[in-house]
Chains A and B, each alone.
Chain A
Amino acid sequence: MAKIQLDQLAHSYLPNPSSESDFALKSMDYMWDDGGAYALLGPSGCGKTTLLNIISGLLVPSRGRIQFDDVDVTDRTPEQRNIAQVFQFPVIYDTMTVSQNLAFPLANRGVDESEIKRRVADMLETLELSSKADQRARGLTADEKQKISLGRGLVRYDVNAILFDEPLTVIDPHMKWQLRTKLKELHQRLGHTMIYVTHDQTEALTFADKVVVMYEGEVVQIGTPEELFERPSHTFVGYFIGSPGMNILPCEVEGSAAFVDGLRIPLGFNYEPPANATLELGVRPEFVRFARQDENGVPVTMDSVDDVGRHRIAKVRLAGHALNIILEEGHEIPTSNIGIVCDPIRSGVYANKHRLEGSAVNLEGTF
């Protein structure tokens, strides 16, 4: 187990990258704690798999260094780095039985016979595959095969980190939940550093202690699921996490109020936005509620209301800009003079897509 340090890391798939846009992964400096469960979350093509392969050693970065526990491993092979990796599609050795599959990485490392036997039996137990130990691995279901892929990593107790590259893609939905729970349980029991690549926010938020959100080759935010939800530091994070994502409205800001097409929306902090920056107001649908215009509501027009099961989502227009509102049970939509109120403390201001920090609490306005 190890902490992982990325030092000025960048990668391009082109031989001679010249401009910023040639890089699949833009320069980054991060430290990931020993024993942490991290999720790399982002849309397809954001560089998350590239980053994962650099950490595992399958890819050598064009620039920068990578360290495990203060040892530079940039030029080491995956085997020398002593990591385990689970891929999108289960990799099993067809001709071997389930236990031979699990024994394979140990046998390759010259572990003794009796020790291999003990560890394999133990791992079969953990993965609940004991009854299939002597079956050909080929005949198993996708989720069982994926468990074997994982088991081949876990059976080596001393791995520095276990990396997952969208491991649940080919698994049936009802098995996904089980496997994810299993992973979480194994993480708590064995304490390996785990890095999990996914484009599914639910997977990332349930699996990880810290979620690393990536967008166009950059890490835009690292934080706990709560932080990502409450204080997204980039409009992409706000939009990507949450269902529906954060409402983002172009605005002007003066002190502790935002103006969307002249309509005043009170904010929880005082802001001094940089000159010439494109400003946007970000507020999650969870933190907007209806209020009559004569009760401080900002006027909106109704588009539609969708019932999504647990709650309803109202789609409205504020000065022509679309806005989603999650309606909790019992809350009703005013019949006339429809307006909305945003929670001032949980409304954020973004300059050129990055969150601005405000100062001095503003007590005006109630939610």
Chain B
Amino acid sequence: MVAKTVNQKAWFLVLPVLLVVAFNAIIPLMTVVNYSVQDTFSPGVFFFEGTKWYQEVLASPRFHGALGRQLLYTAIILIIEIPLGVAVALAMPRTGPWVSVCLVLMALPLLIPWNVVGAMWNIFALPDIGLLGFGLNWLGFDYNYTQQPLAAWFTVILMDVWHWTSLVVLLAYAGLSSIPDAYYQAAKIDGASRFAVFRYIQLPKMKRVLIIALLLRFMDSFMIYTEPFVLTGGGPGNSTTFLSIDLVKAAIGEFNLGIAASMSILYFLMTLLVCWVFYTLMMRGEEDT
């Protein structure tokens, strides 16, 4: 019998990948996990605390408030941006020289750095010198986003719609462009109304890109930080303090590492869960293709 030589050297081949992944994903994530289950009084001295921070976070009204605001904000912008994006895409020309003009105009807001967007709107909406703020007051609306929570919400949402509807438009437009002409011709011959064409041809053909649009907009808006931070700083009061703004306050403002770490983990799990739920719900019935 020949003894089988066992050679495990091949494991070395995956070592570089392991190292890279360890440094860019596993170690940072594990650090957060560590902080979320430990407490410390001086550098280098840690105590294991189990689920204490999690319980504290989950029970705190502050977290509930931020989460509630976050969900409301995301829901509002999705309800506005998805239909609006589809509507704009439908209205865009399908052929001719105006196509590229429209596409460039649509892409512009996406090219502006996020904190610049925040700064632009911060000034644009100022009630005394900003065009929007001054204009609204001139029209007779009592508008001051630095003092009224409602005005602050209005501004933050308007800013997000301005910034991100383009993304939905571009994705929906790509979906529309991929529909062969024969479909429209067949629909004409079948006597379909404009609405029927939308309902039975355009919408089903756009479904996949709209799922992507919805997921991207959900994730981005759920994790939004820079723009409201620059625009309102989370105020007035806590009225526009969304999850990441609250997280940064806890971690850096208050140096409350345990709370911040467990919040981060919860936050990450929520985003993952919601995306998974969206995806499964919307892909249901796609298997029989």
Once bound together, how far apart are the Cα atoms of A136 and B204, in whole Å?
A: 13
Neighbouring A residues of B200 by C-beta, 8 Å: 93-96, 104
Do residues A104 and B192 form an inter-chain contact, with CB atoms below 8 A?
yes
A345-361 CB mask vs B (1 if < 8 Å, else 0) is: 00000000000000000
Contacts A91-B182, A108-B196 given: A83-B189 contact, CB under 8 Å? yes
In the complex, chain A residues 70-90 whose Cβ is within 8 Å of any chain B Cβ: 77-79, 83-85, 87-89
The CB with the most chain A CB atoms within 10 A, among B182, B191, B201, B205, is that of: B191
Chain A residues within 8 Å of B186, by CB: 85, 87, 91, 149, 152
Given contacts A94-B204, A95-B200, A138-B288, contact A78 B182 (CB under 8 A): no
In the complex, the chain B residue whose C-beta lies closest to that of A110 is B191
Can you list, as one digit per residue, whether each of A56-73 has a CB less than 8 Å from chain B (1) or not (0)? 101000000000000000
Partner of A91, one of B183, B191, B196, B288: B183
A152 CA to B185 CA, complexed, in Å: 13
In the complex, the answer to whether A105 meets B182 with C-beta atoms within 8 Å is no
User: Could you tell me the distance between the alpha carbons of A158 and B113 in the complex, rounded to whole angstroms?
Assistant: 61
Once the chains bind, are B188 and A89 in contact (CB under 8 Å)?
no
| A93-B201, A94-B204, A108-B196 as given contacts; A78 in contact with B189, CB under 8 Å | yes
Interface flags for B191-218 (1: CB within 8 Å of A; 0: not) read 1110010001100110000000000000
Q: Which residues of A contact B196 (CB under 8 A)?
A: 108
Q: Which A residues lie within 8 Å of B193 (CB)?
A: 108
Residue A139 interfacial (CB < 8 Å): yes
- A98 smallest CB distance to B (angstroms): 13
Contacts of B180 in A (CB 8 A): 89
A109 sits at the interface (CB 8 A): yes
**B38-57 contact mask (Cβ, 8 Å, vs A): 1 or 0:** 00000000000000000000
Q: Given the interface contacts A89-B180, A91-B183, A95-B200, does A58 sit within 8 Å of B288 by beta carbon?
A: no
**CB within 8 Å for A108 and B289 given contacts A85-B186, A96-B200:** no
> B188 and A109: CB pair below 8 A?
no
B192 and A108 contact, CB distance less than 8 A: yes
With both chains docked as a complex, state the minimum distance between the C-beta of B286 and any C-beta of chain A, in angstroms.
9
- Give chain B nearest CB distance to A112 CB in angstroms: 16
| Size category, B interface | 10 to 19
Indicate if the CB atoms of A109 and B182 lie closer than 8 Å: no
**B204 near A95: Cβ-Cβ < 8 Å:** yes
Question: Complex Cα distance A138/B204, Å?
Answer: 11
| A153 to B186 alpha-carbon distance, docked (Å) | 10
Q: Are A87 and B182 in contact (CB under 8 A)?
A: yes
Most B CB contacts (10 A, CB to CB) among A77, A85, A136, A153 go to A85
In whole angstroms, how far apart are the Cα atoms of A227 and B183 in the complex? 37
Residue contact B189 to A79, C-beta cutoff 8 Å: yes
- Chain A nearest Cβ from B283, distance in angstroms: 14
Interchain CB contact under 8 A, A109 and B201:
no
- In the complex, the answer to whether A152 meets B288 with C-beta atoms within 8 Å is no
Q: Quick check: A89 and B182 within 8 Å, CB to CB?
A: yes
Contacts of B205 in A (CB 8 A): 94
Q: In the complex, which residues of chain A have a beta carbon less than 8 angstroms from the beta carbon of B183?
A: 91
The CA-CA distance from A105 to B193 in the complex, in Å, is: 11
A77 touches B188 (CB 8 A): yes
CB of B182 within 8 A of CB of A108, answer: no
Contact across chains for B201 and A58 when beta carbons are under 8 A apart: no
Q: Kindly state the separation between the CA atoms of A56 and B186 in the bound complex, as whole angstroms.
A: 11
For the complex formed, measure the closest distance between the CB of A73 and the CB atoms of chain B, giving whole angstroms: 14
Q: Is B185 within 8 A of A85, CB to CB?
A: yes
B136–chain A nearest beta-carbon distance, Å: 43
Report the minimum CB–CB distance from A321 to chain B (whole Å). Answer: 44
Q: Mark B264-289, 1 if CB is under 8 A from A, else 0.
A: 00000000000000000000000011
**B residues in contact with A91, CB < 8 Å:** 182-183, 186
Q: Which chain B positions have C-beta within 8 A of A136?
A: 288
Query: Which residues of the other chain, A, contact B191 by a CB distance below 8 angstroms?
Result: 79, 105, 108-109
Q: How far is the CB of A212 from chain B (nearest CB, A)?
A: 22
Interfacial chain B residues near A96, Cβ < 8 Å: 200
Determine the chain A residues whose CB is within 8 A of the CB of B185 once the complex forms.
58, 78, 85, 87
Chain A residue with Cβ nearest B203:
A95
Residues of the B chain whose Cβ atoms lie less than 8 Å from the Cβ of A108: 190-193, 196
User: What distance in Å separates the Cβ of B195 from its nearest Cβ neighbour in chain A?
Assistant: 11
Q: In angstroms, how far is the closest chain A Cβ from the Cβ of B178?
A: 13
CA distance A108 to B288 in the complex (A): 27
Distance in angstroms between the alpha carbons of A91 and B288 in the assembled complex: 18
Residue of B nearest to A95 (CB): B204
| CA distance in complex: A18, B44 (Å) | 88
**B198 nearest CB across to chain A (Å):** 12
Determine the chain B residues whose CB is within 8 A of the CB of A83 once the complex forms: 189
Fill in one digit per residue for A87-121: 1 if any B CB lies within 8 Å of its CB, else 0.
Answer: 11101011110000000110011000000000000
Q: A58-B188, A79-B189 are in contact. List 12 more A-B contacts (CB 8 A).
A: A58-B185, A77-B188, A78-B188, A85-B185, A87-B185, A87-B186, A93-B200, A93-B201, A94-B200, A105-B191, A108-B191, A139-B289
A-B contact pairs, 12 of them (CB 8 A): A83-B189, A91-B186, A93-B204, A95-B200, A104-B192, A104-B200, A108-B192, A136-B288, A139-B288, A139-B289, A149-B186, A152-B190
